[in-house]
C-alpha cells in the first residue's frame, strides 16, 4: 500500500541511511526528507536519491511551525519519523540552548502538526542515553524499557524531555506514537566529530587520536542499517504508545575501538593520545533488546567485526565526503574542543 513518510533529519547520519533503506524497500512509498541542514546535515549525502521521483527534499526547521504545517498540508503524511536533532554530547556541554530548542520544541511542533492534520504514526527516534549510565563493574546490568530516565548531559536531558512529551501527547491527545531508544550507531555518513569517524580521519592523517580519560568507557555499538531495519519494523508493526530498546549486545571499550581502527588502517598505536575526560562522562551503555526481539522478531544482522571493516572501507573510499566536511568551519570546532585539552 502506498504511504507518505516524512523523515526529519534525513540529511544526517542515521536519517540518510533510513531514507536509503525506505526508498529501496518500499518503491511505492513517497519519502519526504525535512532537514534544516545544520552543520551536521549534508545534501551531498542524499545526491544518489535526489532525482528519485518518490523522494522530495525540503530544507526547513522542525521548530518553524508555519513551515512544518505548510509541509503537512501539502503532503498529508501517513507516518512521521523524527530523527532531526542536535546529537553531539560534547557540543551540548558547550552550548545547551540549541539542544533544548531543536530536540524538545522541534518535537512538540512536529507532534502539533500531527494532531492538526492527523497521521497514522508518529515515531520518535530516541537514544539509550536517556537511561543515564551503568557501572563498569556490573556486567549483569542492562537498560530495559523499564529502566528509569536518569540523564547526564544536556543532550540526553533534551532527548529524555522529548520522550516524555511524546508519551504525554499519546496519553493526553491519543496521538499514535512509538519511541525507539537505540545504542551507539556506526557506519557510512557518520559525521566526523563522533568517535569512530573521527579516529579514522585522524589516523589517516597521522594526527593524534584523542581518547577521553583512560578510554575505558563502554558503548554498545550497532551497525546503522540494523537500526534502520528496527525502526521500519516499529513503524509498521510496533504497538502504539510503546517504547522499544534497540541494541545488539556489542559492548566495547573506547580504547578497544580505537586500537581496532589503527589495526585495520595499519597505523601505529603511538598515535593514541589520552586527553582530559568529558564532563559528566557516562561510563557504560548496554541495551537489553529482548522486547523488540520477542514482539517484532528483530535481531541485528551485522556482526561488529564485519561492520567495522565495512565502515573503515567506506571512509577510505569516500574521502571526498568527509574531507569536505572537515575542511570548513569544522576546523574551528576542532581547535576549540581539542586545542589545549
Ligand atoms: P546527526 O547529527 O548526524 O543528524 C542530525 C540531522 O538533523 C542533520 O541532518 C541536521 O541538519 C538535522 N537537524 C538538526 N536540527 C534540525 C532542525 N531544527 N530542523 C530540521 N533538521 C534539523 O544525527 P544522527 O547521529 O543521525 O542521529 C539522528 C537521531 O538519532 C537523533 O535524534 C539522535 O538523538 C538519535 N540517535 C543517534 C544515535 C547515534 O549513535 N548517532 C544513537 C541513538 C539515537
Ligand atoms: P561519541 O561518538 O561522541 O558518542 P556518545 O558520547 O554519544 O556515546 O563518543 C563515544 C565515546 O567515545 C564516548 O565515551 C566518548 C569517547 N570519545 C573519545 O574518547 N574521544 C573523542 O574524541 C570523542 C569524540 C569521543
Distance from Cα 118 to the centre of ligand 1, integer Å: 24
Instruction: Record the cell numbers describing residue 54, joined without a space.
Output: 518518490
Distance from Cα 198 to the centre of ligand 2, integer Å: 9
Ligand nearest to the CA of 195: 2
Return the half-sphere exposure (C-beta side, CA atoms, 13 A cut-off) of residue 37.
10
Whether 199 is in the pocket of ligand 1, judged by its Cβ within 6 Å, is no
Ligand nearest to the CA of 246: 1
List C-alpha distances in Å: 38 to 12, 42, 59, 197, 260.
Answer: 9, 8, 10, 19, 31
Whether 61 is in the pocket of ligand 1, judged by its Cβ within 6 Å, is yes
Active-site residue list: 128-129, 155
Do the beta carbons of residue 57 and residue 264 sit within 8 Å?
A: no
Whether 106 is in the pocket of ligand 1, judged by its Cβ within 6 Å, is yes
Q: pLDDT 10s per residue in the chain (341 long)?
A: 899 999 999 999 999 999 999 999 999 999 999 999 999 999 999 999 999 999 999 999 999 999 999 999 999 999 999 999 999 999 999 999 999 999 999 999 999 999 999 999 999 999 999 999 999 999 999 999 999 999 999 999 999 999 999 999 999 999 999 999 999 999 999 999 999 999 999 999 999 999 999 999 999 999 999 999 999 999 999 999 999 999 999 999 999 999 999 999 999 999 999 999 999 999 999 999 999 999 999 999 999 999 999 999 999 999 999 999 988 777 788 888 888 77
Q: Which atom of ligand 1 is nearest to the CA of 129?
A: 43
- What CATH number corresponds to the domain at position 320? 3.40.50.720
Provide the domain count of the chain. Answer: 1
Distance from Cα 194 to the centre of ligand 2, integer Å: 6
> What domain range is 37 assigned to?
4-338
Amino acid at each position: 500500500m502506498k504511504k507518505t513518510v516524512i523523515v526529519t533529519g534525513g540529511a544526517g547520519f542515521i536519517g540518510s541511511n533510513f531514507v536509503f533503506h525506505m526508498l529501496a524497500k518500499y518503491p511505492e512509498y513517497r519519502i519526504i526528507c525535512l532537514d534544516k541542514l545544520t552543520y551536521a546535515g549534508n545534501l551531498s549525502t542524499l545526491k544518489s536519491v535526489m532525482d528519485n521521483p518518490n523522494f522530495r527534499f525540503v530544507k526547513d526547521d522542525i521548530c518553524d511551525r508555519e513551515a512544518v504545517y505548510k509541509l503537512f498540508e501539502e503532503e498529508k503524511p501517513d507516518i512521521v519519523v523524527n530523527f532531526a536533532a542536535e546529537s553531539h554530547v560534547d557540543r551540548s556541554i558547550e552550548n545547551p540552548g540549541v539542544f533544548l530548542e531543536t530536540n524538545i520544541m522541534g518535537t512538540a511542533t512536529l507532534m502539533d502538526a500531527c494532531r492538526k492534520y492527523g497521521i497514522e504514526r508518529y515515531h520518535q527516534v530516541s537514544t539509550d542515553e536517556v537511561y543515564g549510565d551503568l557501572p563498569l563493574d556490573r556486567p549483569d546490568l542492562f537498560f530495559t524499557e523499564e529502566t528509569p530516565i536518569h540523564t547526564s548531559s544536556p543532550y540526553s536531558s533534551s532527548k529524555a524531555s522529548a520522550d516524555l512529551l511524546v508519551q504525554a501527547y499519546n496519553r493526553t491527545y491519543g496521538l499514535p506514537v512509538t519511541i525507539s531508544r537505540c545504542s551507539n550507531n556506526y557506519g557510512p555518513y557518520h559525521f566526523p566529530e563522533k568517535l569512530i569517524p573521527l579516529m579514522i580521519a585522524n589516523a589517516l592523517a597521522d594526527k593524534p587520536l584523542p581518547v577521553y580519560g583512560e578510554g575505558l568507557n563502554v558503548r554498545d555499538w550497532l551497525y546503522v542499517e540494523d537500526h534502520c531495519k528496527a525502526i521500519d519494523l516499529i513503524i509498521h508493526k510496533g504497538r502504539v504508545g510503546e517504547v522499544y530498546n534497540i541494541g545488539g549486545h556489542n559492548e566495547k571499550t573506547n580504547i578497544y575501538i580505537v586500537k581496532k581502527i589503527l589495526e585495520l588502517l595499519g597505523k601505529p598505536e603511538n598515535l593514541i593520545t589520552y586527553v582530559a575526560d568529558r564532563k559528566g562522562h557516562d561510563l557504560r551503555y548496554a541495551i537489553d533488546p529482548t522486547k523488540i526481539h520477542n514482539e517484532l522478531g528483530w535481531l541485528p544482522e551485522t556482526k561488529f567485526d564485519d561492520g567495522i571493516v565495512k565502515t573503515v572501507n567506506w571512509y577510505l573510499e569516500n574521502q571526498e565526503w568527509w574531507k569536505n566536511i572537515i575542511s570548513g568551519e569544522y576546523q574551528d570546532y576542532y581547535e576549540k574542543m581539542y586545542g589545549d585539552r
